[in-house]
Structure 1
Amino acid sequence: MPKSAKPVPKFASEDEERAYWESHDSTEHVDWSKARKVTLPNLKPTTKTISLRLPQHLLDSLKAAANARDVPYQSLIKVWLQEKLQEH
């Protein structure tokens, strides 16, 4: 922590803590220059729904390929897109 870092006060309740952090900057208490990135491997990535128009024959082929692998076709599309992106 920097030399001028203030200790984080003890709070009687979550509401009290929330009120404190709404009016105080964490840089008063933490030396963020020493922060490190961490990996949280068990977090599920957020997803976004999109609309994608495909020719019927392409969709039929995707569904057949997914059925042969016993996976949902949307999951197969995601896997193939990810694989293709990793090639570049």
Structure 2
Amino acid sequence: MKKQIKKPIPKFKTEAQERQFWETHDLTDYFDLSKPVRVSMPNLKPTTASISIRLSQNVLEKIKAQANKMDVPYQSLMKVWLNEKLDESFRQT
């Protein structure tokens, strides 16, 4: 089987230009999808949003006490717990 040469990906000045390009071009013309390559992006930070949540003082104190025992910030612990619960919920559906 002859190896196909894939097209080079153009350079883009803006994200909008890149988005428009990929909306109108076939990915398989540029990538050999039969040979995936693992990519590492160590500097990529997930997008976060600040929210406000009202908790009873008792619940907040318990969360802070548990976080203190685990030597982690209480807000980080809350994010981990929420994520674990969401994962569990999705596995059940």
Q: Does TM, scored on the shorter chain, surpass 0.5? A: yes
Question: In angstroms, what is the RMSD of aligned CA positions?
Answer: 3.5
Q: Which of 27, 30, 47 is the matching residue for 1:33?
A: 27
Shift, 1:66, TM fit: 0.2
Shift, 1:32, TM fit: 2.5
Cross-structure match for 2:54 = 53
Runs (4+) off by over 4 Å: 35-41
Label 1:69 to 1:32 Cα distance change in 2 as closer, same or farther (>3 A): same
Ranked by relative contact order (alpha carbons within 8 Å, sequence separation 6 or more), the top structure is 1
**Rg comparison, structure with higher value:** 1
Structure 1: gaps spanning 5 or more residues: 10-16
Q: Which residue identity does 2:61 align to in structure 1?
A: D
Q: Which residue identity does 2:67 align to in structure 1?
A: A
Label 1:71 to 1:8 Cα distance change in 2 as closer, same or farther (>3 A): closer
Q: Aligned pairs, how many?
A: 70
Structure 2: gaps spanning 5 or more residues: 1-6
